[in-house]
Chain A
Amino acid sequence: MSKVSKRFYLYFLMASILIAGVLSFYASSSPDGLEKVAEDKGFLETAKDSALSESPLSDYGVAGIEDDRLSVGLSGVIGVFVTALVAFGVFALAKRMNRGATN
């Protein structure tokens, strides 16, 4: 990969870390479109907790960290790296299928 490309991808990654790790703390805490409709139209109570709702990162916080800013920021950064790992795995797999198809 060229130096220019490396720098471009690094900026892209840094922007994502900044958004998930720092800016996320300032996000609106109002319900999103779907949750608001469910609330207004009276079917919000039909929601069930996910089977994973007790997991250590549930609801974008790190279990055991009291400080909200740190908790949400850290969960965001963890999410960025896990997403990167899974996504690069999936796209590497897709690319390998390409090689298999053209041979």
Chain B
Amino acid sequence: MFTPKLHIPDGFINLPISALFGLLSIAFVALALKGAAKTLDDRTTPLAGLTAVFIFAAQMINFPVAAGTSGHLVGAALATALVGPYSATLALTVVLGVQALLFADGGLTALGLNVFNLSVIAVWVSHFAIIFFKRVLPKTKTSVAFAAGAAAFLSVPIAATGFSIQYALGGTGTIDAATVATAMLGTHFLIGIGEALITFLTVSSVIGTRSDLVFGWQEKLEIKS
């Protein structure tokens, strides 16, 4: 039965730090809107919209990772591989907005914190990781899916560290920030394995049927190595 809180609630992080990350998030989303404008065309726009839809749906599937702990997809690497980093930032932001405003999942003052960790940090870590893995792997479609999976694995603990930094700056709890950071890394390392599997399988199946639409496959033609 699905009754989870998927994202940072209000109260964990104080208002000044929440506001700071709110402003940072607005800046990055504005940049993404501008960047996405350059990459979207009539063919790729529907895939970008459906990527947001798929991520919303997939985030509802919490999978068990250890005793009494679950994880769920973030979808940053998945979106980055399919539609590129700018559109991925927009897709993740739409998902987080719908979750916070319609389902009361993730706080309202915490929205900027969540957007920064998932739509900005996780997406851009994924983007550079995908570029790196594509350079070292053979130029095949399977490599793109593998690169996306490996990026997914890295993106989750790094995004979790985004929360740890926010907690260190403005956490309202009394426990020390280093303890929180260690615990966040430990659990999210495990969740990253699930993220990698789901991302690999989804990117594999899309690239297998419609590689012509996949940013991570098309864009490789432009990368000179």
Interface set of A (CB-CB < 8 Å, partner B): 1, 5, 8-9, 12-13, 15-17, 19-20, 23-25, 27-38, 40-43, 46-53, 55, 57-61, 68, 72, 75-76, 78-80, 82-84, 86-88, 90-95, 97-98, 101
Contact = CB atoms under 8 A, between A and B. Distances in A.
Given A42-B175, A48-B10, A59-B105, A32 B70 contact: yes
Given A41-B183, A90-B94, A36 B38 contact: no
Interface of B: 1-12, 33-34, 36-38, 40-43, 45-50, 52-54, 56-58, 60-65, 68-72, 87, 90-91, 94-95, 97-108, 160, 163, 171-175, 179-180, 183-184, 187-188, 190-191, 209-210
A23 B61 contact: yes
Contact of A87 (B48, B171, B191): B48
A21 to B, nearest CB: 8
B48 A91 contact: yes
A28 B62 contact: yes
A91 B42 CA distance: 10
Contacts of A24: 2, 57, 60-61
Contacts of A50: 9-10, 100, 104-108
Contacts of B2: 24-25, 27, 29, 60, 72
A49 B100 CA distance: 11
Given A27-B1, A79-B99, 16 more contacts: A5-B43, A16-B54, A16-B58, A27-B72, A31-B4, A31-B5, A31-B69, A42-B173, A43-B172, A43-B175, A50-B100, A50-B106, A53-B104, A55-B102, A84-B49, A101-B37
A87 B96 CA distance: 11
Nearest to A8: B210
A67 B71 CA distance: 25
Contact of B58 (A19, A37, A95): A19
